[in-house]
Amino acid sequence: MTDATQATQATQSLGLPIRNLLVELLVEELPPRSLKKLGDSFAQGIAAGLRKQGLAREDATATPFASPRRLAVHLTRVAAQAPDTSSLKKLMPVAVGLDASGQPTPALLKKLRSLCGDADPPLLSQLKRAQDGKTETLFLDSVVKGAILTEGLQAALDETLQKLPIARMMTYQLADGWNTINFVRPAHALVALHGEEVVDVSILGLAAGRQTQGHRFEAMTNPLTVKDADSYEHQLQEEGAVIAGFSRRRAEIERQLLAAAGKEDLGLSRYDDLLDEVTALVERPSVLIGEFETAFLDVPQECLILTMQANQKYFPLLDAAGRLSHKFLIVSNIRPADAGAVIAGNERVLRSRLADAKFFFDQDRRKTLASRVEGLQRVVYHNKLGTQAERVERIWAIAQTIGLQLGGNELAARAGEAAMLAKADLLTGMVGEFPELQGIMGRYYARHDGVAEEVADAIEDHYKPRFAGDELPRNPVGVCVALADKLETLVGLFGIGQIPTGDKDPFALRRHALGVIRILIEKEAPLALHALLGQTADIFGQKIKDPTGTTAETAIETLSDFIYERLRHYFSAESIEGQATDLDKPNDENRAAFSPQQIDAVLALRPQLLNDVKKRLIAVRAFAALPEAESLAATNKRVSNILRKAEVGTGREVDADLLQTPAEQTLHQALNRIIPEADTAFAAGDYTASLQALAALKIPVDRFFDTVMVNTEDAALRHNRLALLAQMQKTMNRIADISRLAI
């Protein structure tokens, strides 16, 4: 039981008032994307501050409220005053503080006066003796007065406001014209009620009261007088026309959206992020249905959807096939008796936006994508890596190299064509207006120009995966160009020293690395990682050399480490759930999560074919389940230590004539029997069988170490035994470093 809980229970037992508390800060419209975080932080901060001071129970319920114009919290079971608590303060050894007759010495009196200030010094009866180690020590037994709610809430408010996650402050003057306040938005009122009583606190130049404001246009009364802490939410909704709770407001909007869409027999596109933003923009939501001219549907639906969602915060409606309809949903902040004027106004605004999108689309198609490629020479990519045109040349060369390896000359030619056109849409009006559409518009314009379907698809897909769980390129051409684009970015930026540090990753290199990993694994591309990085580095030539003189080889090694660390995360248990891969399907022994030791064992060998890693992990997991696994892993670790210290002998062939003891002869015979079996399974790609064949080594290996001294004084015998161990280690560690499984 914590001190705060004890204090609150003591308060209740003393009969001190325990009531629910309400604190609200009324402000100008808050940043919508930060509202929920601000509301939660405000509520949690005040609750934590009061619990720490013993004014609220640990199990007190804190309910956050956050609307565009308010941050608030309702906290249950808050005491008017925390109970007094006893405190033992160490003073000094008894021998120093008391004289022979037991009276306080000048040193003790001085110490007590310094502690008590102007108050009377404590009586000797308040001094207690206790052992402090081997020394008998004096302690002052004093009573600490419990915090009163006014002081405790003031402290909690001050600390909470200091810690609010505010990205950017505003500066404004108070009504007196002299004092200046810094806060996320200008604050207008503070409500602090303990039950029915106002708590005398102040922040941001505002003294607490019981008056707030409801909806700007639809409140029944303004200002609104809050009766008590428990009536706050109900009064705001009934008298103020405001749904104060963020979650309740979000649920109400979602309910109305789904009902309106169902009424039209249509569906919603992905809306979670937009729903959060709209929830932070309205206080009294009302969902209305609007329409636009069907002629606008000739524009790619991605453009129309982005225009509606990003600019106007509307919810597009889709038919059963996922095609955009000419109807959309509006979340209004008012509920007029006749919504016709509201709908017409929104339709008029959207019509202008869609007309702009149609204009960009029509204008862009007057020039081919191929004719825009030359213009990339005037667009700087990076001051050390050249223009976008130079970048395209590199991507073209990398994509062709990958295409040759994956599908020969025909795939290389298609990949080269797609790579040359991949960045051309950056110079279109539509992408200039909506950068999020890069690649998507390139695909539409390429199809309009008569480019082959697989090349057009690759232009869009070369950005994929754009985020965690995103889909991968749909065809081999897209795989080549997507890999080329990400490898060019990674090698180029690592080559000039732009390496992510801590949380800083301005070029999203972690995302690019994960994209390379996902494509190689999930598309089962048999491409060696180090070779890919080396080929890419060769294409850069002298451009990838940072100011410290780092060579391309050093940059590639650093990048390789970076990618393997991302690979570790990709296969780790905590990341499986968020992956859109076949690894997260339940009840499949081939797709379950892997332990850190199993991942470490496989990645210790730095396997070059990443599409091979999952099979290795499955094999290691199966091996680890064998009863012989623990002993063999420990033995492998022991062998690794022996061989690491050996200066000679590990590279020699085993001489059967020098095998003197039965144990080493038996081990040699076992290896001669097991190695071919393991080799055959390994060559066939059956890593599980290859590793499980090693289980038969447990008994001969144990006998070997029980009876054979490896580091004997006879050099010839020592070298032969080291060679035998090296042969065994090579066989055991071909798929993974089995020693990493040792506990």
- Does 380 have pLDDT greater than 70? yes
Q: SS3 for 613-661, per residue?
A: HHHHHHHHHHHHCCCCHHHHHHHHHHHHHHHHHCCCCCCCCCCHHHCCC
Largest Cα–Cα separation, the chain: 109
The structure tokens 């955009």 sit at 324
pLDDT average, residue stretch 105-123: 71
At residue 238, does pLDDT exceed 60?
yes
- Residue 410 CB neighbour total at 10 angstroms: 10
Confidence of residue 419 (pLDDT cuts 50, 70, 90): very high
Residue-level pLDDT at 589: 42
Residue 429: pLDDT above 90? yes
- What is the rounded CA–CA span in Å between residue 280 and residue 34? 9
Query: Is the pLDDT confidence value at 481 over 90?
Result: yes
Per-residue model confidence (pLDDT) at position 124: 61
- Residue 579: the pLDDT is 45
Which residue in 401, 357, 600 sits closest to 491, CA to CA? 401
- Gyration radius (Cα) of the chain, Å: 36
- Alpha helices in 496-551, H assignment, sequence order: 509-522, 529-540
* Interval 408-420 mean pLDDT: 96
Contacts of 196 (CB under 8 A, 6+ apart): 227, 228, 229
What are the Cα distances from residue 287, in Å, to 75, 282, 458, 605, 698? 32, 11, 39, 58, 71
668-679: pLDDT as tens digits: 999 999 999 999
The 10s digit of each residue's pLDDT in 329-338 is 999 999 988 9
Given the structure tokens 């990398």, which residue do they identify? 398
Question: What local confidence, expressed as pLDDT, does residue 6 receive?
Answer: 45
Q: How large a percentage of the chain has pLDDT more than 90?
A: 64
Determine whether 382 is exposed, middle or buried from the number of CB atoms within 10 Å of its CB (0-12, 13-18, 19+).
middle
Q: If phi over 0 gives left and psi between -120 and 50 gives alpha, with beta otherwise, what is residue 626?
A: beta
Least confident piece of the model among 97-106, 147-156, 566-575: 566-575
Q: Which residue has the tokens 């609200």?
A: 24
Q: How confident is the model at residue 404 (pLDDT cuts 50, 70, 90)?
A: very high
- In the predicted model, what is the mean pLDDT of residues 382-399? 95
Output the average pLDDT for the chain: 89
pLDDT band at 240 (very low <50, low <70, confident <90, very high): very high
Across 292-371, the runs of DSSP E, i.e. the strands, are 315-318, 324-332
Whether the predicted pLDDT of 218 surpasses 80: yes
Query: What residue type is 668 in one-letter code?
Result: H
Q: Is a pLDDT exceeding 90 seen at residue 130?
A: no
Q: What is the pLDDT of residue 656?
A: 85
Q: Which residues pair with 189 in a beta bridge?
A: 26
Hey, what are 318's tokens?
């889709």
Position 545 confidence tier, pLDDT thresholds 50, 70, 90: low
Q: What is the pLDDT of residues 550-608, one digit of tens each?
A: 567 888 999 999 999 999 999 985 444 444 344 333 333 444 578 899 999 999 999 99
Rounded to an integer, the average pLDDT of 34-41 is: 95
Q: What is the pLDDT of residue 563?
A: 96
More confident residue, 77 or 127: 77
Lowest mean pLDDT among 5-9, 232-236, 243-247: 5-9
What average pLDDT does the segment 519-539 reach? Answer: 94
pLDDT beyond 80 at 514: yes
